[in-house]
Amino acid sequence: MVLSTASDAENAEKKTSGRDIKEDSKDQQQGAATAVTEIPPECLIRHPLQNVWTLWYLENDRTKSWEELQNEITSFDTVEDFWSLYNHIKLASEIKAGSDYSLFKKGIRPMWEDEANKKGGRWVITLNKNQRRTDLDNLWLDVLLCLIGEAFEHSDQICGAVVNIRTKVDKISIWTADGQNEKAALEIGQKLRDALRLEKNQLQYQLHKDTMVKQGSAVKATYVL
């Protein structure tokens, strides 16, 4: 009789224990589901850009052609992916002299000969060596944000932007598609000058065809702002 009572008690305890385990498991599953659903919606949202952009990097090597020197790094199409990329690469001021960063709409190569560029030109800002430490990185970032944020009214005219790091001077430029479209070129230049808070005559527009046939380091400016 005692044995029977003990067995009954053990069975009752096992049933209770099993029920408790099931309830605990159910509570844990509900807790996990609640934890997932409590993630703020804004953390899951990605902000698409109007265009897909490609980052290129060039490091000078006299044994290679200009096209071979261009290294396609990656493409992105959201604000979040832009910042992830920007925060994981060297600043423009930190790359070697003779190197370039280029950001172009996907499908356009950072070369004069590209079909999208060959009839165009570029707005150029020239910076001295001291400005590499004080101004270069901020100006380059502002240019990138103007590009991906579609800050220019004539967005279809924008091909991309380049920062050239050289021994004596550095250059930042925005490339446009049609050098003969005076209205678009001047409006883009004025917007760029305002966005970067440049002094008068700091910004020059040069046609690619003039740059290709230049003699020495000087290139004839089509417009100056």
Token pair in block for residue 215: 């003699």
Indicate whether 214 pLDDT > 70.
Answer: no
Cα 117 to the center of its chain, rounded Å: 20
Beta-carbon neighbour count of residue 221 at 10 Å? 16
CB 11: neighbour CB atoms within 10 A? Answer: 10
Closest listed residue to residue 169, CA positions, set 208, 213, 218: 218
pLDDT in tens, 57-102: 999 887 788 788 999 999 999 999 999 999 999 999 999 999 999 9
What pLDDT band is residue 9 in, cutting at 50, 70 and 90?
A: very low
Query: What letter does residue 155 receive in the DSSP assignment?
Result: G
Beta strands in the chain, from DSSP E residues, in sequence order: 48-59, 70-78, 99-105, 121-128, 158-165, 169-176, 203-207, 223-224
CA distance 185 to 209: 16
What's the average model confidence in pLDDT over 157-162? 99
Please give the Cα distance from 50 to 184 (Å, whole number).
Answer: 19
pTM comes to 0.80
pLDDT over 70, % of the chain: 79
- Average pLDDT for the chain: 86
CATH for the 48-224 domain, from 3.30.760.10, 3.50.50.60, 1.20.1560.10, 3.40.50.300:
3.30.760.10
> Residue 104: what are its φ and ψ, rounded to 5°?
-130, 155
